[in-house]
């Protein structure tokens, strides 16, 4: 046999050896996967129970579950190295963590407190609204006003996209709350239309508005009802000022009335910024709920007493009750929508 023939034959043997090695490695991976399937199912079921009890924002939840899975796998490997059978090692590794509800509560206490950076991001949308009111960005037809408003809108859109890309952290939800305001503002404008047209527009608008709000709130409730309440935080204050100025002032006097009340409106949004930052920084869940709802209702009562608007005691009582119902309604909806 010539040297060229020997080379071709050797290459054939080498190719055959590579093929057998490839098939062998693939078979080995399949066998290992089949051996670990029962253990993986048990671990996934445990982690799913923890996830359902874990009241954290989506970004923190993913980090926590990833760390928890790594801890379970390390414990499993440790037991296997000690000679414990695979099935027993998987059961012990999962059982060593304890009750899923207890573990979830411990993780909530550990990870629910946000950083100061996150608190600033959560307060920022309210601060931007207060700043726009302070500089009276809505007045005049100058390019200055258009640039300010356009820059604020573009910045808000970019921040929301960034927060969504980061996994929807807690600070994102106040920004999402302002995306709901055009829907609410359109509803108030529908009410102010002349008789006849208002009914026609309402028939078309209300189902669409309810569907949009339902979709947004439902997506948030998949994570935590408290995040939905956090998202709805600016809605009562915006509705208050629209009612106080729009329904108690002649149309030709609305710009003047808005300019006159701009300081008070700005301070109310500064208060919302403080509430948002406090909510992010507070650690315990019960304190978070109190820090979100109590100052909001206190702010509305203060505005009702000092704004000079004449909706009457009944009107302001309905507004306060409706605001409280709006903020706590996600807690009730969570069990019915999921």
Query: Mean per-residue pLDDT for 139-164?
Result: 79
Residue 189: pLDDT band with limits 50, 70, 90? low
Choose the weakest-confidence range: 24-28, 197-201, 249-253, 279-283. Answer: 24-28
CA atoms within 13 A on the CB side of 323: 24
Higher pLDDT, 272 or 150: 272
Q: Note the pLDDT of residue 276.
A: 95
Q: Give the C-alpha separation, 61 to 112, whole Å.
A: 10
The fraction of the chain above a pLDDT of 70, given in percent, is: 70
Q: Give the C-alpha separation, 219 to 66, whole Å.
A: 22
Residue 3: pLDDT band with limits 50, 70, 90? very low
Q: Is the pTM of this model over 0.85?
A: no
Q: How many CB atoms lie within 10 A of CB 129?
A: 24
pLDDT reading at 274 higher than 90:
yes
pLDDT reading at 24 higher than 50:
no
Which of 192-196, 242-246, 287-291 is modeled with the greatest confidence?
Answer: 287-291
């Amino acid at each position: 046999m010539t040297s060229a023939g020997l080379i071709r034959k050797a290459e054939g043997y080498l190719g055959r050896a590579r093929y057998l090695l490839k098939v062998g490695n693939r078979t080995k991976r399949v066998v290992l996967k089949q051996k670990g399937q029962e253990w993986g199912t048990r671990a996934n079921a445990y982690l799913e129970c923890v996830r359902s009890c874990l009241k954290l924002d989506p970004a923190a939840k993913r980090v926590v579950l990833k760390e928890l899975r790594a801890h379970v796998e390390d414990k499993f490997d440790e037991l296997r190295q000690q000679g414990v059978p695979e099935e027993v090692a998987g059961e012990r590794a999962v059982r060593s963590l304890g009750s899923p509800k207890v573990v979830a509560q411990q993780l909530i206490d550990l990870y629910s407190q946000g950083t100061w950076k996150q608190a600033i991001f959560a307060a920022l949308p309210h601060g931007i609204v207060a700043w726009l009111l302070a500089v009276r960005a809505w007045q005049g037809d100058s390019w200055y006003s258009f640039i300010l408003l356009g820059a604020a809108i573009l910045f808000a859109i970019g921040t929301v996209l960034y927060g969504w890309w980061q996994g929807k952290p807690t600070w994102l939800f106040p920004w999402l709350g302002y995306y709901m305001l055009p829907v609410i503002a359109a509803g108030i404008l529908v009410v102010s239309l002349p008789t006849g047209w208002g009914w026609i527009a309402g028939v078309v608008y209300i189902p669409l508005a309810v569907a949009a709000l339902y979709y947004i709130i439902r997506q948030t409730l998949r994570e935590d009802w408290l995040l939905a309440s956090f998202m709805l935080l600016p809605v009562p204050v915006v509705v208050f000022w629209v009612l106080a100025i729009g329904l108690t002032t002649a149309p030709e006097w609305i710009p003047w009335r808005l300019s006159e009340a701009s300081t008070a409106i700005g301070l109310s949004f500064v208060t919302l910024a403080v509430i948002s930052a406090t909510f992010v920084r507070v650690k315990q869940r019960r304190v978070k709920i109190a820090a979100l709802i109590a100052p909001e209702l206190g702010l509305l009562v203060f505005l009702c007493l000092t704004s000079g608007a004449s909706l009457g005691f009944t009107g302001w009582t309905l507004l306060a009750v409706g605001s409280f119902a709006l903020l706590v309604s996600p807690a009730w909806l969570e069990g019915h929508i999921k």
